[in-house]
Amino acid sequence: MSKGQKKHNAGAKTKRAKRKLEQLSTPALHVESIDAANNESALNVQTPNTYSVLRKKKPTAPKASRSTKSSSVEPAKNWTKLSDEKLLDLRMCDLGLSIESTPLEGMIQQLHREIDAHNIRLKPHCWLSDEWFSPDGIPGIAIPFYLAHPRLMRLERHQMLDVEGGTKAWCMKILRHEAGHTMDTAFGFHRRKRYREVFGRYSDPYPEFYRPKPRSKNFVQHLEPWYAQSHPAEDFAETFAVWLTPGQRWRTDYAGWKAIKKLEFIDDVMAEIAGAAPKIKSRRKLDPVGRMKKTLREHYSERHQRYNINYTTSFDDDLARLFLSPDSGATRKAHTYLQKHRNQICDTISNWTGEYRYNINQVLREMIDRCRMMNLRVRTDDQQLQQDTLIMVTVHTMNYLYRGNHQVAL
């Protein structure tokens, strides 16, 4: 996603602009898992609900330390068998990770085939880093390190409650989105007048929040929650991803939508550049995981802190009344209970209220995080707990909506 347009400090061009996006939570039954060996799909695998962060592009940095040279750090031995606590103390560069011989390699090849089918001469290069992003000035894609190994995917799930891009279908969606950014970087579409007329100004600063309109027909629907509505650069990347997806009948699916003009723009400019050499061909890799000296514990600590920035604590008192205190003697954790019943809670409230599951999940996501922070516990024999939980989440969801808090943090 486009990174580099907002700086932490004015003029600090090499500083990263860390942004986040909480995605829509939906049941994931009968999906394709990238844990499968030899790049083969593993069907009927249940995955957790979506709880993740999509990143913007990182600004290019002129320092030599961010070169494409591979790290000479010796990988740690037998780290796949370590407990989470011991694994967290390893440096990221000591993991010895590579895209080669993993399911990611096959998916990148699939992306290249999809692009080549349109006679486009850009095949985005990919590398492992700490998050999803496509750097400004580099037509390539950084993929989060945890997708390179099932053990790290399990750690990611334990730490973040979900694994962004953790299924083949989900990972391909993000790859196609990031490929849209690489196309814009390589060919400079955002400099065109027609781009500005169709998508808006690429140079507009990213907002801290955006309020998606689920029923809007001005935007394509690809990544959730209605991510195309967040910024013109993301709108372009999302539209490209829909256009590129094999079997996508976009002319039929978006007939009558204003978004059809955006898809037609993509179709026109991609036909125009067919067979043409990219203007920018850099194969540089920004922040490769092999050069990252921070530990996994430091990495996840940073991510947890970013998540907590905008979290509300307005329902802490209700959570404390519903669940037990840390010194109650109960061993079952409240956040684990809520995560386990997350789909059922969202479905039940959505069915009775007609409210979007995304809105319900916004509240439930924060409750899960607050329960974890407060270390609340659950009785094992509490038969009333499920009903009380449904009532509490419903009440806070209604408060959340009517107070105008329906916004997505970037």
The predicted structure's pLDDT at residue 208: 74
Write out the two tokens for 2.
């486009």
83 vs 43, higher pLDDT: 83
Going by pLDDT thresholds of 50, 70 and 90, the confidence category of residue 410 is low
Q: CB–CB of 4/135 below 8 Å?
A: yes
Q: Phi and psi of 31, rounded to 5°?
A: -105, 170
- The confidence score (pLDDT) of residue 77 equals 75
Distance between CA atoms of 336 and 333, rounded to whole angstroms? 5
Q: Which two tokens stand for residue 278?
A: 């990219």
Distance CA 18, CA 207 (A): 13
- The amino acid at residue 67 is S
* Confidence at residue 369, expressed as pLDDT on a 0 to 100 scale: 85
pTM of the full structure: 0.71
258 versus 396: which is more confidently predicted?
258
Beta strand pairing status for 125-129 and 140-144?
A: parallel
pLDDT in tens, 287-338: 999 999 999 999 999 887 765 544 455 788 899 999 999 999 888 999 999 9
Q: What is the pLDDT of residue 70?
A: 42
Q: Kindly report each contact of residues 397-402 with a partner whose C-beta sits within 8 Å and lies 24 or more positions away, as own/partner.
A: 397/349, 397/353, 397/355, 397/359, 397/360, 397/363, 398/353, 399/314, 400/359, 400/362, 400/363, 401/355, 401/359
pLDDT at 361 (0 to 100): 79
Position 112 scores a pLDDT of 98
Question: Which residue ranges make up each domain of the chain?
Answer: 28-291, 310-409
d(CA 75, CA 12): 34
Q: Which of 54-63, 89-98, 365-374 has the highest mean pLDDT?
A: 89-98
Give 168-208 as a DSSP string: HHHHHHHHHHHHHHHHHHHH-GGGSHHHHHHT--TTSPPPS
Is the sign of the CA dihedral 287, 295, 86, 379 positive or negative? negative
Given a cut of 90, whether residue 398 has pLDDT beyond it is no
- 169-211 tens-digit pLDDT: 999 999 999 999 999 999 999 999 999 999 999 999 987 777 7
Band of residue 402 on the pLDDT scale cut at 50, 70, 90:
low
Bin 249: left if φ > 0, else alpha if -120 < ψ < 50, else beta: beta
Give the type of residue at 296: L
Residue 314: how many other CB atoms lie within 10 Å = 14
pLDDT score of 376 more than 70: yes
Strands 209-210 and 42-47: unpaired
